[in-house]
Chain A
Amino acid sequence: MAELRVNKAKEKLARGEVTVALASWGYGGADALERLIDLEPDAIWLEGEHGEVDFSNIGELTRAIDLIGASPIVRVHQNEPGVIYRTMDLGAQGICVPHVNTREEAEAVVHAGKYAPIGLRGAFTSRQGIGVDNYQAKANDQTMLIILIEDIVGVQNLDEILEVDDIDVFFVAPGDLAQTMGRIGEPHHPEVQAVVDESLRKIVAAGRTAGALVSNENAAHHLEQGVKFFLGSPPPWMETGLIEMNRRAEA
């Protein structure tokens, strides 16, 4: 019998270590992701709220990520039980749910993402469970739930949301937050950043794990704030490399 695959990102967080996920936007496709093996990434974030990831390709994409030993995390596009557990059944080890604004919405994520007695995830053997003895009894330990705090109403309800157990990461995202604060396109506006900072502080103070999308430049700042789950994306790294390549060619 096969052992249930360990969720590397979840395990690192459980040990109190920071985790750095790599976003697949700007570097997508199963073949490209499988070539990241030498980077030993903790997790790959597949974009299904805004990107091309959906039921037709989650199997293929998460297989490539399994083979490089990273945790496949899929951001789904709605807080809907069928969407959440079908994504897990196709092979995601982690789910990220956008726009979680109330305690009830956070509870709905757990209800869909965990089997009994914690929740009521639809019973089916996930691709991650193939060959695993008694998969459903073990699955909860290796599935990771991330919720996005990204609306001002979610910030207002944050104390209540933080009371919901079995959520691994509370991820604060400034893009949508700016929009709901009347600052569309200004995620770096001081008013927006003040709300981000305050939300991260609350999450850490509640003893929960905070997450953030970071650049190499602002990552240390978020580390100081207590963020443990970091999401980075390849396009700026590729751009830096290309600029340097051109510079060397023209030197």
Chain B
Amino acid sequence: MRTLRKNEAKARLAAGKHVIALEGLNHADTVERLGPMNPHAVWFEGEHNLVSPPNIADLTRAADLAGTTSIVRVNRVEEGIIYQALDLGAQGVAVPHVDTREDAETVVRAAKFSPLGKRGMYGSRQGLGDPEFFTKANDETLIVVFIEDVIALDNLDEILKVDHIDVFLVGPGDMSQSMGHLGEPFHPEVTRALEDAVKQIVSAGRIPGTVGNHSNVARYMELGARFFLTSPLEWIDTGYQDLRARVGATR
């Protein structure tokens, strides 16, 4: 017997703290070794990368053992895909291209058991050993929706009325594409649209997030964002180039 694993990232957000979710580490041995760094969350990429039902259990087990919250970005707004990721062991799901109130409602219906939704009935890996899993699961399941299309900005007031979504993440990449600035996620018009969306999310009393890095995290914290999807790749680059410089290595 054990009790349902706490969702540390969700608890931090509930306490008003920020969460950094590390992405690009879709590899169980890598994730398990992150433990001593105490990352708030690890992001497993299933919209664009190799994360899928055959490896979600292994990846999220590594996150469980490292003591970090596992979040799987699924491929689309689709109920079966959302709750299968949760059943395999994800503590949180992120759903791309949530463009309408109906999309947002679909996400909640898929990810929460009744009375909030109608997530398919099955004992998640996270529920093993806890006989009260079904009544506790909703409290430990994190939901992130992506606001990343112009149409979602148009519908944002309506989307923000949907309860039980923990994070509304404004995504610069797709937003730039849908605004006609493909490949320019930091175009000033895109940044303005994202910042306006963040302000709108905060005024509705909800929690915004975005793609974060050393350069923009302070600005977005100031605006009220609390969730950051972050790649450690540039940190590895910095460390590796510094090591090279110290030994006089050329490229």
Contacts and interface: CB of A to CB of B under 8 A. Distances in A.
Nearest to B222: A251
Interface residues of B, number: 43
A245 B20 contact: yes
Interface in B192-216: 212-214
A19 to B, nearest CB: 7
Interface stretch (B94-102, B118-126, B228-236): B228-236
A220 B247 contact: yes
B251 to A, nearest CB: 5
B27 A232 contact: no
A242 B247 contact: no
A223 B246 contact: yes
Going nearest first, the 3 A-B pairs with the smallest beta carbon separation are: A241-B235, A237-B239, A29-B27
Interface of A: 12, 17-20, 22, 25-29, 31-32, 35-36, 38-42, 51-52, 214, 216, 219-220, 222-223, 227, 230, 232, 234-242, 244-246, 248-251
Interface centre among B30, B36, B214, B228 (most CB of A within 10 A): B30
A249 B221 contact: yes
Given A18-B249, A20-B249, A235-B37, A31 B50 contact: yes
Contact of A223 (B214, B247, B250): B247
Given A17-B249, A230-B247, A22 B27 contact: no
A31 B33 CA distance: 18
Interface centre among A38, A230, A234, A245 (most CB of B within 10 A): A245
20 contacts: A26-B30, A29-B30, A31-B49, A32-B24, A35-B233, A216-B246, A222-B247, A223-B247, A230-B249, A232-B243, A234-B232, A234-B239, A236-B239, A238-B34, A240-B238, A241-B235, A245-B217, A245-B228, A248-B217, A249-B218
